[in-house]
Structure 1
Amino acid sequence: MKNFLPAIFRPKAPRAPLKFVRGRFDAASTNPDNARHWSSAEFLSADAEASSDVRRILRTRARYEINNNSYARGIVLTLANDSVGTGPRLQLLSDDEPLNRSVETDFHN
């Protein structure tokens, strides 16, 4: 034990000074390559930006894409089917299993 205690209290070697990493956000910089991309960016909120004219244009373009783009149609149908499904389904959980099946079958037909 005598040899162990001095090792615990031995002074540590001095550390090298910390180096600071200079970082930046690419999206915060405007340069000739992205100036055109950011030219339409505004400080308005989504609610303030979505006037009735803007909503009408977006609705028209979305309908056009759904009608003329099979990928867009598939995405919309998938979202609708996963969110809404095919309609309500009944599942009874009473103690009488034959009654449960009978009522569920009558409901579905």
Structure 2
Amino acid sequence: MAVLLADRQLGVRTRGTPVLDVHGAEMTGPLGPLRGPWPGRAMPQTDGTWHLALDRQAGTLLVGDVVAEPATGTEWTVLAADEVTSASDPTLGYVRVKARARTSNGTRPEGHP
């Protein structure tokens, strides 16, 4: 079994719970204030995405929410998130996030200006 330790402090800015507009499409609000930070981990992947691990206090994260590292100003946009709990000890767990790095102009695919 491997244990990955936190290597930074991460917080979250969420858009809130989606609601349906008059046409039945999901809508979310603007990004809220930073919650956290808590101990976390960020690991770049070969496909340009990042795998992030956040404290369970981050709560439920949805696509489009933002994970932030206040110490550096680095931000990531959530692509997918799941809460992971240890089968041997339910008190151990974290929020696993697949994300893409944000730029000052928003999130954009690598190689595109």
Fold equivalence (TM over 0.5): no
> Could you tell me the TM-score, scaled by structure 1's length?
0.18
Bigger RCO of structures 1 and 2 (CA < 8 A, at least 6 apart): 2
Q: Please say which structure displays the higher CA radius of gyration.
A: 1
> Could you tell me the TM-score, scaled by structure 2's length?
0.17
- The structure whose residues are more often helix, as a share, is 1
- The structure whose residues are more often strand, as a share, is 2
